[in-house]
Amino acid sequence: MSLRDKTVFITGASSGIGAATAMAFAAEGCRLLLAARRAGKLAGVGILARERGAAAVHSIDLDVRNHFAVQTAIDELPPEWAEIDILVNNAGLSRGLEKLYVGKIQDWEEMIDTNVKGLLYVTRAVVPGMVVRGRGHVINLGSTAGDITYPNGAVYCATKAAERAINDGLRLDVLGTPVRVTSVDPGMVETDFSLVRFRGDAERAAKVYKGVKPLTAEDVADAIVWVASRPAHVNIARVMMTPVQQGNSLLFARDES
């Protein structure tokens, strides 16, 4: 299915998987509606997306944790951007890596507010229009962490387990409409994810990927575009993807040499 001139809304589009997804859809000639908190970085992504072939780009300075801001942003879109064909719920993060009983409550709240409530807020604002128009595709970013909980990551893993439940529930709730719903669940991906988790500690972040050739943001973006481009009668319910050296969220075959 051609994606040319489709309107694609990507949250968390200023870096990492979100930015790579913007580039991948730009190469397909899509119209990109990009949202993130970091307006400066988002503007740079928009410029590169136009160079890559995007039919048009419209950026929104948006924090998905703010329900009112999300709804207002969607309600006030210019008419030519109001009909969203593909929603990529990418905004998300992890904070900290501590045992649950000593975890920082502010870290929990940031993860839950972004990864779960933000996902819900954006979905609630966008999907009704898809149902009314009789077309649309929601692609949610999950994680292998939603399958198997790893030590010191209980709350992050819980948010990704919630994403999976929300994704599957939405797919059932739109049954009988042409709207499609997909979860793309990567394992280890080398982005700023670990740098954010460890609040800028580059040395600690680098150790996460030691001895493993991880996925890239572009690998995940390629999968996202692939599921979006399937024929209209085909719904890819879930894609789980890992590096070859990863078995699950706990098991890695690290190169010790």
Strand partners, 34: 10, 59
| Planar angle of CA 221, 37, 241, nearest 5 degrees | 20
Neighbouring CB atoms inside 10 A of 139's CB total 25
β pairing state of 180-186 and 238-241: parallel
Secondary structure of residue 142 in the 3-state scheme: coil
Q: Tally Cβ neighbours within 10 Å of residue 89.
A: 27
Rounded distance, CA 230 to CA 219, Å?
A: 17
- Indicate if the alpha-carbon torsion angle 44, 66, 64, 205 is positive or negative: positive
**153 is written with which tokens?**
């990551």
Catalytic-labelled residue, pool 121, 150, 156, 209: 156
121 is annotated as an active-site residue: no
Catalytic annotation, residues: 156
